[in-house]
Structure 1
Amino acid sequence: MASLKSCLSVVAGMLLLSQTLVARAELPDFTPLVEQAAPAVVNISTRQKMPERLAGGPATMPDLEGLPPMFREFFERNMPQAPRSPGGRQREAQSLGSGFIISADGYVLTNNHVVADADEIIVRLSDRSELQAKLIGADPRTDVALLKVEGKSLPTVKLGKSEDLKVGAWVLAIGSPFGFDHSVTAGIVSAKGRSLPNESYVPFIQTDVAINPGNSGGPLFNLDGEVIGINSQIFTRSGGFMGLSFAIPIDVAMDVANQLKSDGKVNRGWLGVVIQEVNKDLAESFGLDKPAGALVAQIMEGGPAAKSGLQVGDVILSLNGQPIVMSADLPHLVGGMKPGAKASMDIVREGSRKTLQVTVGALPAEGEELTASGDSGAERSSNRLGVTVTELSAEDKKALDIKGGVVIKEVLEGPAALIGLRPGDVITHLNNQAIDSVAVFAKVAQALPKNRSVSMRVLREGRASFITFKLAE
């Protein structure tokens, strides 16, 4: 019996060792990739003349612990500075980032925020030689910048296709965190198509690759040694890496780079709508089987969506056959289209599915704004909702650029107070119906269903959104 136990113990040990060896064999060896790709990764520093009044003593990293979670550009543009100089003279600010060479004649990709407002850009190669770079163009909306250095037969990276990337795949980053050149970190793809606050045109790749200040603008590689993204942002409470990193897909970056190279600017598709997410309650109120699509909360007057017949309250489910699962999918798809392109939209309107044809417009330049409009209605006092409302004057309608609607005069106890309505809010739709008079509002409010999600479109300070509520028995 002792001999049998001893044999079983030996067998178990051999099995465990075998499993360990197999597991180790399955782990990737990154050394060939690094040897091949690292020479094309560069360090980027900038110099910027800054007025003396902005030049303080040595800067320190602020203690961000305890602040609410936030997305931030993790590359710190203003690194520690020298003491201010006497006599009101200017001094130089410096920053550090990363980039990579995409052509043998010296085109370099990096992040816009690495080189923004720089008076001089220096690219340091892997052999420690330094070249002065010219900014060919930059696109703040995607945070991509294209540089050019003078050189021949420079080492280049291989470009892959980010659309082929799969969640769970191994990826590797090379960059200069905190100025430590050619630091290598690895991890896996955590998610694709992530949308970040104030970033409407980039479906980010999320990874758990360790990224820190200085990695910004550097490449993200797959196991074939191909660049599939540009490391751009992190999610952090402390200012350092916390396991959530975000990269710009290389497909998006190269489209931007090619346009910057040929035209000096980027042209994007545009529908002219303000959209919002469809949650469970909104889905129920609009008769959808599940939360999906992009709910149209506002339409820009004279924009492509308005000309196509799209209406406030429509839920866009797909564009050219591409499903809109999250509302953020829509600007990603539209932004990637060329102005003038034709597109078909599958929508849900008042419980029925329809298909609309639209000619995609050109996204206005930053700072250019079009007025938003939408079908409107008027509201009225209703004890069921707990609001007192009045008609809008012609001047009010003109100022708000709407055709109708009622304004809340007083919020009483009831559903309206619970969902946060305020005096001055304008109600334009109730239970998927446009409100064009006080009488219509009273009629619709009186017929609201009980114990079912009801939608309401509210205009507050020029911004429209749909909210939901339920009336109890």
Structure 2
Amino acid sequence: MSQTIHINRVGLVALALSLCANAQSPQERSPIGAVLGTSTPVEELSTKASPAVVHIEVSSYRTSADDGDEIKNQTLTKRQGSGSGVIVDPDGYIITAFHVVKGARRIRVELDRRVRANSPAGELLNGKRRSSFEARIIGVSKEADVAVLKIEAQGLPTIAFSESNNLKQGQLVAALGSPEGLRNSLSLGVVSSVEQQIEPDDSLVYVQTDVALAAGSSGGPLVDIQGGMVGINVFSLTQRGREEGLGFAVPSPMVRFVYGQIRHYGFVPRPYFGVDVQGITPTLASALGLPTDSGVIVAGVGPGSLAQNEGLQAGDVLVSLDGMPLQNVPQLTWLLLHKHIGDRTRLEIQRKSSKIVLDASLISEPSDPEGSIATIDIEENLVAKLGIVGSARKHGTAGPSPTASGPGVLVVARLRESDTRAELAAGDVICSVNSVPITSVAQLRATIESFKPGDAIALQLERKGKLMYMAFEMD
């Protein structure tokens, strides 16, 4: 079977140097000959890794944020998309990028053409083992841009994790996947940076490479020359549609951690201090008169919050966490991920010229309505006559509002095509309809569908911690 292999100039030179370094005798072929030969490290890598790479087709809803909509009110439109993924468990567990399956209504996974899987139910397609499966989402991490899928198959080939921490700048790597829908493609390049933070406030660092990536590459593995996975490709930088040779992958330690948490819990718990933090830049340090021009600063503390009660203030510089010096936001994120909600931590801060040590409690980071889109059944939670996708809210899950009304239906997103008169927004909680308490999406849908055109409707909403009524006539 033929396979597409892209090698840029830098990758070709790096490969030649790599082969020179591993040469066994003068009688062996030259590096260039090795590149063009039939038995090379690249072909060995491909033979080892490619069978575990899958193509993913997704029918989904796209949010307004995906289209660059600056209005902070999610709307949804239907779309078809594709991406890549990698099998990490022979029983059908697959890792891909969160944004590939975000808002998915249906996910179909196509195995490498050389692979035929056993189905637990013994299902055959035209008398042969299957190569295409429906997939379901086990869990996602929006922050890490990682999702875990499951197909009902057994005996699948896998790729093992390798430590991206052991990568070196200039080391040869390869990206596998389906760029522009071209299945079974492999692109070579080199590591440009082992730990690249794009913006000072970003919570993650990435493995940066010059590997050629395109739409459809997302979710595929970045592998070292031995075929071990050192990251999941998630995006590349382009200018006017032209590839700039800047590809980025989530490092394997983060991918492996997220995968383990999702397999165990179904999600990734996110302990935090209850404050907003950001990276310190020289300009910020100069403006605020900070003692350092790098590190992590507290940007905001909620009034009356646990963090404020424990002594944290806006402008505090976080010096260390449980004795570990803090250098940037990604490091803090990584350390907190390995803590537990409810843990007490020893936090050293610098406030102006004084250093202070606080005992700070970790709480659960609030859920993001946008992040929940990927994990709910859109059709099942659709309330068409209100033009929304909802999710039942249990008592006590709302924020610290003195007027919080308990159970209700959280508005996860609006449908862009909807012409309803109800001006609902993502994050609203529908508490009652015409004074009838609402406790589930099914109840809300049935109640709304019982009204006739022209009937008056009054929704009691909780919006930004306050209760209000929204009245309109049914279309």
TM-score by length of 2: 0.59
Question: Which one of 171, 174, 182 corresponds to residue 173 of structure 2?
Answer: 171
CA offsets 1:157-207 (integer angstroms, 9 cap, x no match): 111233333443322110100111121112222224434469844322222
Distance 2:222 2:201 in 1: 19
Question: Which one of 64, 86, 104 corresponds to residue 118 of structure 1?
Answer: 104
1:31 is matched with 43
Distance 2:253 2:161 in 1: 9
Question: Which one of 68, 83, 98 corresponds to residue 84 of structure 2?
Answer: 98
Structure 1 residues 199 and 29, CA, compared in 2 at 3 Å: closer, same or farther?
Answer: farther
Amino acid in the other structure paired with 1:277: G
Is the contact between residue 141 and residue 199 of structure 1 (CA under 8 Å) also seen in structure 2? Answer: no
Is the contact between residue 58 and residue 107 of structure 2 (CA under 8 Å) also seen in structure 1? Answer: yes
Structure 1 residues 296 and 122, CA, compared in 2 at 3 Å: closer, same or farther?
Answer: same
Cα RMSD for the two superposed structures: 3.4
Distance 1:279 1:272 in 2: 22
**C-alpha displacement at 1:272, in angstroms?**
1.8
Is the contact between residue 52 and residue 158 of structure 2 (CA under 8 Å) also seen in structure 1? Answer: yes
Structure 1 residues 305 and 189, CA, compared in 2 at 3 Å: closer, same or farther?
Answer: farther
Distance 1:118 1:234 in 2: 22
Structure 1 residues 209 and 305, CA, compared in 2 at 3 Å: closer, same or farther?
Answer: farther
Distance 2:16 2:265 in 1: 54
Structure 1 residues 154 and 197, CA, compared in 2 at 3 Å: closer, same or farther?
Answer: same
Is the contact between residue 169 and residue 194 of structure 2 (CA under 8 Å) also seen in structure 1? Answer: yes
Question: Which one of 289, 300, 303 corresponds to residue 302 of structure 2?
Answer: 300
Amino acid in the other structure paired with 2:105: D
Is the contact between residue 203 and residue 332 of structure 1 (CA under 8 Å) also seen in structure 2? Answer: no
SS of the counterpart of 2:44?
A: helix
Amino acid in the other structure paired with 1:308: E
Structure 1 residues 158 and 240, CA, compared in 2 at 3 Å: closer, same or farther?
Answer: farther
Is the contact between residue 270 and residue 304 of structure 1 (CA under 8 Å) also seen in structure 2? Answer: no
Distance 2:283 2:94 in 1: 47
Question: Which one of 349, 352, 362 corresponds to residue 351 of structure 2?
Answer: 349
Question: Which one of 124, 129, 145 corresponds to residue 143 of structure 1?
Answer: 145
Structure 1 residues 322 and 247, CA, compared in 2 at 3 Å: closer, same or farther?
Answer: farther
**C-alpha displacement at 1:357, in angstroms?**
2.5
Comparing 269-278 with 296-305, greater Cα deviation is found at 296-305
Distance 2:226 2:303 in 1: 48
SS of the counterpart of 2:336?
A: helix
Distance 2:349 2:107 in 1: 48
**C-alpha displacement at 1:281, in angstroms?**
5.2
Comparing 259-268 with 323-332, greater Cα deviation is found at 323-332
CA offsets 1:313-359 (integer angstroms, 9 cap, x no match): 21112223433333454334334432223332232122122332322
Greater RCO, CA 8 A, separation 6+? 2
SS of the counterpart of 1:102?
A: strand
**C-alpha displacement at 1:42, in angstroms?**
0.5
2:95 is matched with 109
Is the contact between residue 274 and residue 362 of structure 2 (CA under 8 Å) also seen in structure 1? Answer: no
1:384 is matched with none
Is the contact between residue 209 and residue 247 of structure 2 (CA under 8 Å) also seen in structure 1? Answer: yes
| 2:335 is aligned with 1:340 | no
Aligned length: 316
Is the contact between residue 93 and residue 148 of structure 2 (CA under 8 Å) also seen in structure 1? Answer: yes
Distance 1:303 1:196 in 2: 31
SS of the counterpart of 1:158?
A: coil
SS of the counterpart of 1:39?
A: helix
SS of the counterpart of 1:171?
A: strand
1:324 is matched with 326
Is the contact between residue 101 and residue 108 of structure 1 (CA under 8 Å) also seen in structure 2? Answer: yes
Is the contact between residue 60 and residue 102 of structure 2 (CA under 8 Å) also seen in structure 1? Answer: no
Distance 2:146 2:261 in 1: 11
**Percent of residue pairs identical:** 34
2:134 is matched with 132
2:206 is matched with 204
Is the contact between residue 286 and residue 350 of structure 1 (CA under 8 Å) also seen in structure 2? Answer: no
Is the contact between residue 142 and residue 199 of structure 1 (CA under 8 Å) also seen in structure 2? Answer: no
2:416 is matched with none
**C-alpha displacement at 1:280, in angstroms?**
3.1
Q: After the TM superposition, which residues 179-258 of structure 1 pair with which residues of structure 2 at under 5 Å, given as runs? A: 179-196=181-198, 200-258=202-260
Instruction: Name which one, 1 or 2, has greater alpha-carbon Rg.
Output: 1
Is the contact between residue 295 and residue 327 of structure 1 (CA under 8 Å) also seen in structure 2? Answer: no
CA offsets 1:208-240 (integer angstroms, 9 cap, x no match): 211110101000112332112110112222345
**C-alpha displacement at 1:270, in angstroms?**
0.9
Amino acid in the other structure paired with 1:364: P
TM-score by length of 1: 0.59
Distance 2:207 2:16 in 1: 32
**C-alpha displacement at 1:24, in angstroms?**
5.4
